[in-house]
Amino acid sequence: MREDSTFGSQVSTETKVNKQDSSHPFSFIDAMRQGRIAEVAEFFRRSLFSSKERKNQKIPNVEIDIYFGSHATEQDARNWQNKIKDADVIIHELLGVSDKDMKTLQDLSDGRIKPEDLIYDDSDDKYYNEYALALSRMLYKSGKRIVGIDIPDRHPILKRIDRNKEDEQTLYSLLFSIPYLKYATKLKKYIQEKGNLQRQREEYIVRRFRKVINPYIQSQQERKPVRIFMFHGAMHTWMYHRFKRSGFSVQRSMKGRTDYMYGRLRNELERKARFNVKITKRDIARQIFSDIVNEAYMDMQDKF
């Protein structure tokens, strides 16, 4: 099980971003006017799939509550404490999750292991340890069903995500050693690939949701809806719209607001790539400047 650090972005631009998605009517109109045949065809394909899905598949009796936000510190975990208490099923963003991971988390929820058993004091990531411990204490003896629907370990998409992360490290090492235009080209290519992989990951999660959640719905003795709480980074807000278009009862929250900005500039560019919004030369220049400033800051930290 690994923590995906990609969360955060300018959520206030979500409406603008969604208009660039080929599933959005404004994007469809623009594509028609500009003769972008491939995007027009994709719009009809998605529309046909959505209508068939709603017609042929019964919508499970569930109420989905998705929290989009950071998952790195103790306070991040406490932001959704009440939501965990109200839920029947918990779905956390868990990239690279294994069956063993899920059994461990379920054992935690059932009280068979303690939160401290999951946390390693020798970890380099102090803040993530604080987050994991706070979350584990909330889940401990809660009796909640813990479900994993993220990209599992050994999945082909996971391998591509790992390679993309390696590309990021390689890119940083070239910051001061290759010409600006060459670095800018490599940076844009990396960001576009990151956005594409996030899109594939989200589509996988949404497809897998119905299959994985059905057993818990069938085991519900009463006919009341199964309350499902999901928490993901703000990169993944597309999933809310997909669930809603499919007919699910779904709501979302973002620290109680929908008009805030947080995270690194690169997260916003990755969101642009994920929603097929054009990444401009100015965007890339700002990101390179941000990388230079960050590198200088880290250098100063080492010296002082």
How many CB atoms are closer than 10 A to CB 273?
A: 21
Query: Which range among 31-35, 201-205, 223-227 shows the weakest confidence by mean pLDDT?
Result: 31-35
Q: d(Cα 25, Cα 52) in Å, to the nearest integer?
A: 19
Query: Which range among 49-58, 108-117, 128-137, 279-288 shows the weakest confidence by mean pLDDT?
Result: 49-58
Query: Which range among 69-73, 206-210, 238-242 shows the weakest confidence by mean pLDDT?
Result: 69-73
* Residue 114 pLDDT: 92
- What's phi and psi for 250, nearest 5 deg? -140, 140
In contact, 231 and 71? CB cutoff 8 Å: yes
pLDDT digits (tens, 9 = 90+) for 73-111: 888 888 888 899 999 999 999 999 899 999 999 999 999
To the nearest 5 percent, what fractions of the chain are helix, strand and coil? 60, 10, 30
Q: d(Cα 50, Cα 44) in Å, to the nearest integer?
A: 10
Q: Which residues pair with 66 in a beta bridge?
A: 230, 252
Q: d(Cα 181, Cα 31) in Å, to the nearest integer?
A: 30
3-state SS class at 28? helix
* Residue 266 pLDDT: 83
Alpha helices in 72-179 (DSSP H): 74-78, 81-86, 99-109, 126-139, 156-173
pTM over 0.85: no
* Residue 194 pLDDT: 94
* Residue 34 pLDDT: 65
pLDDT digits (tens, 9 = 90+) for 2-29: 544 333 333 344 544 444 444 444 455 6
Q: Taking Cα atoms as reference points, which of 252, 4, 235 lies closest to residue 131?
A: 4
Query: Which band of pLDDT confidence, cut at 50, 70 and 90, is reported for residue 119?
Result: low
The kind and range of the H/E element at 66 are strand 62-68
